[in-house]
Structure 1
Amino acid sequence: MARATLSPVLSPIRTCVGCRKRATKSELLRVVAGKGPDGLPAVVPDPTATSPGRGAHLHPTPECYELAVRRRAFTRALRVREGLAATPLGEYLTAHPPRSTP
């Protein structure tokens, strides 16, 4: 009987909360529920993926960010009851545009 070979997974796969497409963890930006500059609950970027707590992943593009905001995906994915301000994340994406691939 032939044995099926499994291909090794090189990097964990995550789903973008904006476009809902699957991608490797290294292609996505992790976001967490935290405090914005005004001290209110907000979605904050976690580029080093070291912040404690539940995280969600997003392609670092304006299109995926806008889809996630429109769908209210951050509140659902991060499992928080009250609405989260997405402004700090939007400002981060504006200041750090995605790298183009060659």
Structure 2
Amino acid sequence: MCVGCRERATALELIRVVAGSDAHGPAVVPDPDGTAHGRGAHLHPTIACLDLAVRRRAFPRALRFAGGLDVTTLRTMIDPSTDTTP
């Protein structure tokens, strides 16, 4: 089930994400192989579902993470045109 739009889909249609870290600190990081340790959540690979999940604060709840999680890495993976690195 997608944590953004809450629709059911096959695992092949969704991206698995886990709580991890990136250059900004605690973050939602993609797990395309599905082999990362820890609790995972699934998301359609669209900006619309990502924005819904962020607005609904679905990632900290689904991943059982206390505090905020940065989604920059995930957003860049879904839509490379949003990359803000110089």
* TM-score where L is the length of structure 2: 0.89
Give 1:94 shift: 1.2
Q: CA deviation at 1:37?
A: 2.2
Identify which range, 55-64 or 80-89, moves more after superposition: 80-89
Residues 67-95 of structure 1: CA distance to partner in whole angstroms, max 9, x if unpaired?
Answer: 00110100000000111111111111113
Gaps of 5+ in 1: 1-14, 96-102
After TM superposition, the runs of 4+ consecutive aligned structure 1 residues lying more than 4 A away are none
User: Aligned residues, how many?
Assistant: 81
Partner of 1:12: none
Q: Which one has more relative contact order, counting CA pairs under 8 Å at least 6 apart?
A: 2
Q: Aligned partners of 2:62, 2:8: CA distance in 1, in Å?
A: 15
Distance in 2 (CA, whole Å) between partners of 1:94 and 1:46 is 16
2:5 maps to which of 13, 16, 19 = 19
Tell me how large the CA RMSD over aligned residues is. Answer: 1.3
Structure possessing the higher radius of gyration over alpha carbons = 1
Q: Percent identity?
A: 61
Greater share of helix: 2
TM-score by length of 1: 0.76
Q: Deviations over 1:5-36 (max 9, x none)?
A: xxxxxxxxxx1000000001111000000011
